[in-house]
Amino acid sequence: MDRKFFLGIADNGRFASVVLGDLSGRIIATNHGGSVNYHYWGMERAQANLMALVRQTVSWEKHACLEGICLTYKAAQEVPEWPFCDVLSGFSRQTGVMVEDFATSSLLGMQGSNDRLFLVGCHSGLAILENGEGELVHLKQEACSWNPIIRINEKLQTVMDFGCRHDQAKLQYLKSQIGSGHCLKTLTEVLDYFVDRGSTLALELAYDVAFDLVQMVMSMSAHFMTRDPVIGLHGQVLLGSQTIRDRVYRLLSLLFPQCRVVDEPLAPAKGAYLSAVLHWRSRFAQDVITNGLPRQACIIGGV
């Protein structure tokens, strides 16, 4: 089989998203599965997860047709060149492997040619902006401010201070689910469940999170070069909770009426795939890749 494929893998330390495409820029398949970050899960577990992803996405019989693989990790803004020879020991020697920083992959995977802002709501808040002049700006909220246990405890304390017991049981249940080790998907589903049933405290909690995310966009807006930025939403908190997502959409439409807000669940993996194609200098349609790599970067402290 002469056809060659490229694989982009985006890992957040808990699970991995995958985009498979060919030289023409056509995405053939997408998938998600266990984390391939051996620093978190160990070599054996990471290897098993990677092989499972390949079998499910491209089929093991055809994995030798992979021309290149690019991995990106949300562990940090800049990821060093970690050795992957052991993780990828079952692959063909002709398969090239590279590691891309999360910011570059995420922005490359978004549509748009001017101001592009990638907004992440997950275990931490993160905003990455590349404006029309190629300036790259990062803004990250401290992880402690995103700790759901801390947020719920603050709401519970408010309830006790005002002597109101209404909805306290719901928040205690939400707290117990998190304490039992359930993932963010459980948190967002339970949060929306209580909001749909009229819980005012659950609604306040959701709106507080939405406000924090929108505030990050407002802080980044000083670097906008146009009035119609593209804002991509990513992460389980943002896309997993309909209440939080709708509130973010609403506030952004009021603050930036000409902006375009889009859901981007696969942007990092898609960008990693495109980076793999670029890295191996394949012929690629110019209208698929809208921007080159950012030229300069600066860091803004947490809000």
| pLDDT tens by residue, 239-298 | 999 999 999 999 999 999 999 999 999 999 999 999 988 887 554 444 444 444 333 333
CATH architecture of the domain 5-109+266-291 equals 2-Layer Sandwich (3.30)
pLDDT number for residue 258 = 94
Beta carbons of 70 and 7 less than 8 angstroms apart: yes
CA distances to 94, 130, 205, 248, 291 from 119, rounded to whole Å, are 36, 12, 19, 11, 18
Q: What is the pTM of this model?
A: 0.81
Spell out the domain ranges in the chain.
5-109+266-291, 113-263
Average pLDDT over residues 11-17: 87
Beta carbons of 5 and 28 less than 8 angstroms apart: yes
CATH architecture of the domain 113-263 equals 2-Layer Sandwich (3.30)
* Chain segment 171-222, per-residue pLDDT in tens: 777 777 666 555 677 778 888 988 998 888 888 889 988 998 999 999 999 9
**More confident call, 303 vs 221:** 221
**More confident call, 155 vs 80:** 155
C-alpha–C-alpha distance, residues 160 and 85, integer Å: 55
**More confident call, 90 vs 34:** 34
pLDDT number for residue 290 = 46
CATH topology identical between 5-109+266-291 and 113-263: yes
C-alpha–C-alpha distance, residues 161 and 99, integer Å: 50
C-alpha–C-alpha distance, residues 31 and 120, integer Å: 20
Cβ burial of 147 (10 Å; 0-12, 13-18, 19+) is middle
pLDDT number for residue 178 = 64
